Structure 1
Amino acid sequence: MMDQTHAIEQDMKLEIADYIIGLIQRNQMAAHDRLPSENELAKRFGVNRNTVRRAMDYLKARDRIYAQKGKGLFVAPSQEQIVFPQINNIGFSEIFQNYPYQYESKLLKWSLVRAKAELSRILEIQEGELIYKVKFLRSVQEKPLAVCISRIPQKMVPDLQAHLTLDCSINHILKQVYHYEHPVCKFVTAEAVMPLAKNMKLLEVNESVPMLKQISRFDVPNVGPVEHYTVYARGDRFKLDIQF
């Protein structure tokens, strides 16, 4: 009986949440509009206020509404969608530096690690060879957008750490320091994933915000693979437009 009661309450919670989302999507409520009170919603749906509160908690966790102390609940403004055109010969930073967005790239950390079997196969190196792992935080309009990880064979970029700065671009270093031709993207895979705990704080999201995980390999013409590139981008702000 308890399981059945819980299931009914769960259904009602989602029905109330969907009702509010529907009002927003049909433009019957706009950003910063005040939501109906708990009593109004409880009466409308024939439920107790605890069920309404759970529905509101559900919406707050997904950044659809926000609370103002002593005033009630309000519709949250929608996140701006940042469209990223995936072009096979232009890098992440290079694209955003030419956009009207305010863009920032911040070096988080770097390390030297041994390549495992799958990565060595992709980069066409021997398993166990040293690779640089370089992690960046990319922000647009002063809000974090993506965590990006570059993995580069050490033998191709000896002493890379000497050229890493807080706002460096890997492509810029490859061209200007090591005199390679501009790398070209050879493949891209993308999938929806839930955020890793270590990235939630960096990207200012909770566990309910999906991520777009994008993996690419970049090659230097007439040389071969130079970079394995992974992006964890906020699914509520990032839209991938592949233009190969």
Structure 2
Amino acid sequence: MSYRFRQSSMAAVLAVIGGAWAAEAVAAQDFLFGRPSITLGARIGYAIPRADSEIFDFTRDELTIEKEDFNAVAIGADLGIRLTDRVDLALGIGYANSEIDSESREFIGSDDLPILQTTDFRRVPFTVGVKAYLTERGRRISDLAWIPSKFAPFVGGGAGFVWYEFEQEGEFVDYETLDIFYDYFTSSNGSALAYAMAGFDYSIGLRWILTAEARYSWASANMGESFVGFDKIDLNGLRAAFGFSVRL
């Protein structure tokens, strides 16, 4: 009887341990152990610069370039550091480049061929701001366990620095002599910027997040020596992007 009792007791203990382990394994699929404090993300989207300053007006007037030609694919990466349950410190970097082939609108070469050139417009913003969630992005179910919300809209804004480079290379017309010459013009500089954004996070499982956002930035910068006499280049613009983040 004593031996059978010990067998039964051991079986009960093993059943309890096994049941607890199984419950923990199942539960681990439904929550994170501890509230995540960092998110890392990568984005791809579309940048639409306002392109509303003298250099853009001159380029569109003289070359077969339209305002929408300066639109470009944009990529970016960001780091979110949780400050409160609904607010993150947001650090970001981005890159966008439009490369446009064109020809002179009014002139052709003496060989009856187009006068060709290429224009490049690059932007690299570095930003620091806050990202505020409009609803709870998750909830605690104990001191250790945390469940993310499926959908979490946010707004935000901040400041930073943007570096730009504007280049034109190819054939151009001297309007005094009407001679055609080959040249390379470049301007690069930096400027402070401000931005505002809105978007949403959609949780895919516990750690992965699909994020979509729209962001508008305000900035302008001086032109370089190749473009003496032009006013500041307009660096304002809209960027729409989506991508993935991981909770850490």
Same fold (TM over 0.5): no
Which of structures 1 and 2 has the larger relative contact order (alpha carbons within 8 angstroms, sep 6+)?
2
TM-score by length of 2: 0.29
Counting helix residues as a fraction of each chain, which structure ranks higher? Answer: 1
Greater strand share, structure number: 2
